[in-house]
């Protein structure tokens, strides 16, 4: 069978979901292809490839793009089997009733994906395959949601008018979590590299584990863990031997200078456990490349940091998320003390480890709480800037909070009237302005400006005058477009020369600037283009929170 994967865009992180699914499909003898909507012609690819299956993997915000692409597939041929997996359909399996998909894939689908392809090729029924929702089995495997009813109550509309919002999968229909990752095939990077810039870009992404036990309310993992309760351990990872084998092959096949481990949590234990001890010994010998990973401030210790450095650690991220204790621990539920954050970043500074921090702007706080604290909404965001300056973070990013399905913070926002629960209006990038109704236009402007100027202030922690000028004057001015260029230059420098140090030729550097600048602009300004180009399916065509839709005639 011929399987066509459809991606909205490919930037600088490997689309590992597609690469794994392609490898699993090839393991069963199927042929795989890729269309990237930002620069490919989907109709032309359909005519050229004549696929049997078209597959999409969607996060909320980009899901509407895939809805339109699925409609285009079905317009071309009703006989092509369409399926969508990923976080969005996992939490909205009722999409099977309202959108142009023949199946919806829920949760972890490694084995179910292979069973689906085998069943389709053999002409067998696929309705009994766990994790695969079809119109034929939906009435048996879906049920009305029992959690967070506020999320499905749209403003002025009954939840029943949106069946994709008010249904969830019965957990008994889910396969247990895969506890052994070593028998998964290597990522099929060739599928992506043969038609994108990633073949020449020497930063490679990898996931050494799956799962996260923490309860952060902006993340879907806690809900995912509830779905899979009793179906295996939350955290599973490759053995060190298997991990290094794939990275060694990757290094031999593709020019590679740096590894970015994209695990939700690369280390979970404050002690140096057996896995980390082995990794610190084997990885430098077998792979020997500098790497980046993610952990938490309350997990990092001098002992496990020393083990990571022995392995080749160059940089790490420990998200701060909120400078204010109430926002961080009551709303966001990071369960982390201020002193733990300061101690962890001070440790990295002493040890010469480059740091990256996410800190979220625009977390909505109830009016009575703000009065009690004596703060405005923007005061909380200024605290975010100040804690990053104090921590001497190398690269600080300040994304604006967006509500996503399956997240407790989204339930909180809907319950308090900050968001109407209509996820179809969200823009694909959380770098656009806030979608919450509790912020005034001036506050939304300040948040966007702070997200651009904040990283520059953190670059120069001793320049108190820069912080004061930014907070007291610059973020209040309607100069967001002007701030974009210094932000872009700062981000490019910090990424390429500090966080993931790469040796790029001058032509390569210019190619990547040309490639990335338009994409970064669109993430923050969905209604504007830097230059004229023909319209692709990856561009929104309806009203989108975070900015008006682009003008198709531009």
Query: What topology does CATH give the domain 2-173?
Result: Rossmann fold (3.40.50)
**Alpha-carbon torsion 311, 312, 317, 318, what sign?**
positive
pLDDT in tens, 370-428: 999 999 999 999 999 999 999 999 999 999 999 888 899 999 999 999 998 888 888 77
Residue with the two structure tokens 């009237």 = 417
Instruction: Inform me whether the pLDDT recorded for 532 exceeds 70.
Output: no
pTM, full prediction: 0.90
Q: What are the distances in angstroms from CA 3 to CA 14, 44, 114, 127?
A: 19, 15, 12, 20
Per-residue pLDDT of 165-209, as tens digits, reads 778 899 999 999 999 999 999 999 999 999 999 999 999 999 999
Contact 244, 349 (CB under 8 A): no
Q: Is the pLDDT of residue 155 over 80?
A: no
Mark 9-25 as b/e (b = at least 16 C-beta within 10 Å): bbbbebbebbbbbbbbb
pLDDT above 70 covers a percentage of the chain that reads 90
Helices (H), 331-376: 338-351, 367-373
Label residue 540 by pLDDT band (50, 70, 90).
very low
Name the DSSP letter for residue 94. Answer: G
* DSSP three-state, residue 202: coil
CATH number of 206-238+256-269+289-503: 3.20.20
Q: Domain-by-domain residue ranges, the chain?
A: 2-173, 206-238+256-269+289-503
């Amino acid at each position: 069978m011929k399987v066509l994967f459809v991606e909205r865009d490919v930037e600088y992180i490997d689309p590992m979901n597609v690469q794994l699914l392609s490898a699993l499909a090839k393991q069963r003898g199927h042929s795989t292809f890729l269309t990237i909507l930002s620069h490919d012609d989907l109709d032309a690819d359909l005519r050229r490839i004549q696929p049997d299956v078209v597959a999409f993997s969607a996060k909320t915000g980009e899901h509407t793009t895939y809805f339109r692409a699925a409609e285009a597939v079905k317009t071309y041929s009703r006989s092509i089997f369409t399926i969508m997996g990923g976080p969005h359909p996992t939490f909205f399996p009722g999409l099977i009733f309202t959108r142009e998909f023949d199946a919806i894939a829920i949760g972890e689908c490694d084995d179910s994906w292979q069973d689906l392809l085998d069943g389709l090729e053999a002409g067998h029924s696929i309705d009994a395959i766990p994790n695969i929702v079809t119109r034929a089995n939906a009435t048996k495997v879906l049920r009305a949601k029992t959690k967070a009813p506020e999320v499905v109550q749209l403003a002025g509309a009954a939840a029943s008018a949106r069946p994709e919002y008010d249904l969830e999968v019965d957990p008994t229909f889910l396969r247990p979590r895969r506890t052994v990752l070593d028998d998964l095939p290597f990522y099929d990077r060739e599928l992506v590299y043969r038609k994108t810039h990633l073949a020449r870009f020497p930063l490679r992404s990898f996931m050494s584990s799956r799962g996260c036990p923490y309860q952060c309310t902006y993340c879907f993992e806690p809900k995912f863990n509830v779905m899979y309760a009793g179906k295996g351990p939350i955290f599973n990872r490759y053995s060190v031997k298997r991990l290094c084998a794939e990275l060694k092959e990757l290094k031999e096949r593709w020019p590679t200078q740096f590894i970015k481990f994209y695990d939700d949590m690369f280390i979970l234990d404050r002690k140096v456990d057996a896995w980390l001890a082995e990794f610190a010994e084997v990885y430098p010998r077998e792979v020997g490349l500098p790497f980046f990973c993610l952990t938490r401030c309350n997990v990092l210790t001098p002992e496990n940091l020393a083990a990571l450095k022995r392995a080749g650690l160059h940089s790490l991220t420990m998200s701060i998320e909120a400078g204010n204790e109430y926002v961080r621990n009551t709303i966001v539920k990071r369960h982390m003390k201020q002193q733990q954050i300061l101690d962890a970043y001070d440790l990295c500074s002493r040890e010469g480890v480059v740091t990256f921090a996410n800190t979220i702007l625009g977390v909505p706080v109830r009016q009575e709480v703000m009065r009690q604290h004596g703060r405005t909404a923007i005061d909380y965001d200024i605290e975010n800037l100040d804690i990053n300056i104090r921590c001497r973070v190398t690269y600080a990013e300040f994304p604006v909070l967006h509500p996503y399905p399956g997240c407790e913070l989204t339930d909180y926002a809907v319950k308090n009237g900050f968001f109407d629960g209509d996820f179809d209006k969200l823009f694909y990038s959380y770098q656009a302005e806030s979608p919450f109704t509790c912020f005034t236009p001036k506050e939304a402007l300040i948040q966007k400006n702070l997200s651009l100027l904040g990283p520059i202030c953190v670059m120069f922690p001793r320049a108190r005058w820069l912080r004061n000028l930014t907070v007291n004057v610059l973020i209040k001015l309607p100069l967001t477009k002007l701030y974009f260029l210094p932000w872009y230059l700062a981000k490019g420098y910090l990424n390429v020369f500090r966080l993931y140090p790469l040796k790029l030729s001058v032509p390569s550097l210019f190619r990547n600037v040309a490639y990335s600048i338009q994409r970064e602009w669109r993430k923050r300004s969905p209604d504007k283009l830097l230059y004229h180009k023909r319209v692709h399916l990856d561009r929104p065509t309806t009203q989108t929170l975070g900015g008006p839709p682009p003008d198709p005639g531009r």
